[in-house]
Amino acid sequence: MLISWINLRERCPIDISRLVSHSQGFNSSVGIRISVRNLDNAKKSLMEARGKLDLMLTSLQQLLYDRTILKGRTDEVLYGWLIDNIGRYLKTLDEKEEDFLIKYDEVNSPIKRVGVSRLSAYSKALKLASESLIYESLSKAISEYEKIGENGIKIKYDLEKEGKKSEKEITIKKEPRTFLYILFQVLQVTLSLLGGLAREGKPIGVKKGSVGSYPTTWQSLMTSRGQKEIAEKHKEETGEEIKVDESMIDSQNQYPEETEDTDENTIYYEETEEEEDDQ
């Protein structure tokens, strides 16, 4: 895998310089040669690599915790879900560290030394977290963000009410807040593929890649229906009721279905208003 953290830093809409700096320390530590004659040094180096990996993720979390990104309460909830799900995956790494390294150093352990195979397995787990969870997720999110034109993405709706059709349009801005939603959706897919969420049970806010019963594309999460689904799910979990800021999103309450008439900067949806008795 060809990895260029410098290229990623230059393209990213948020400043990931500290994360990139920690990645250099991580790569130096995790790249140690593992051999029978080097077991103690290799173990020490891998433990240092784990510390650097934690710093990389902490840096990412701190960078996203910004008022230019978390503009509304639903943004804060989405951020909280992202942090929670990353924490669940890190717990699986803690378990691997325990299984591969720590418990075999105990005084009463039947195996007195950690061998090459266990160190190699732990090294592989750390590299997977760095390359797949962090690097590839950021790379994919940045690529999606770059597809947005400078004037944003327009989403058009054909709204049918009482037999009459009218067209509604919103614009999703190209701004750091949008990047948060893209990164959240990408990380959900990545974490599902890596298996960390499955081992820990259903993650908060997500059920097989969805919020509630609706598919979670990042665009849909930013619509009125997506924002209200986030608020409703949060209320179920915590009891806190959130008033969705309609000024930041479209004014419609239906979840749109994408049609074939789509270009790179405009997404067209058709939407039918439900009767009040069906609500």
- For the chain, domain boundaries: 5-274
pTM, 2 dp: 0.77
52-79: average pLDDT: 94
**C-alpha distances out from residue 27 to 61, 118, 207, Å:** 20, 19, 34
| Under 8 Å between Cβ of 48 and 29 | yes
Rounded-to-integer distance, Cα 86 and Cα 205, Å: 13
Mean residue pLDDT of the chain comes to 79
Percent of the chain exceeding pLDDT 90 equals 47
CA separation, residue 87 to residues 36, 91, 151, 265 (Å): 33, 6, 35, 35
The answer, yes or no, to whether residue 78 has pLDDT greater than 70, is yes
Q: Cβ–Cβ contacts within 10 Å for residue 73, how many?
A: 17
Q: Which helix (H) or strand (E) holds 9?
A: helix 5-11
> Quick one: tokens of 256?
């749109």
Q: Is the confidence at residue 276, as pLDDT, over 70?
A: no
CA distance 267 to 265: 7
Comparing 12 with 201, the larger pLDDT belongs to 12
pLDDT in tens, 124-158: 999 999 999 999 999 999 999 999 999 898 876 55
Could you identify the residue written with the tokens 């180096």? 45
Nearest CA among 203, 82, 210, 198 for reference residue 134: 82
Which of the two residues, 50 and 243, has the higher pLDDT score?
A: 50
pLDDT single digits (tens) 82-99: 999 899 889 999 999 988
Q: Residue 106: which pLDDT band, with cuts at 50, 70 and 90?
A: low
pLDDT band with cut points at 50, 70 and 90 for residue 26: very high
Tokens 């510390």 identify what position? Answer: 51
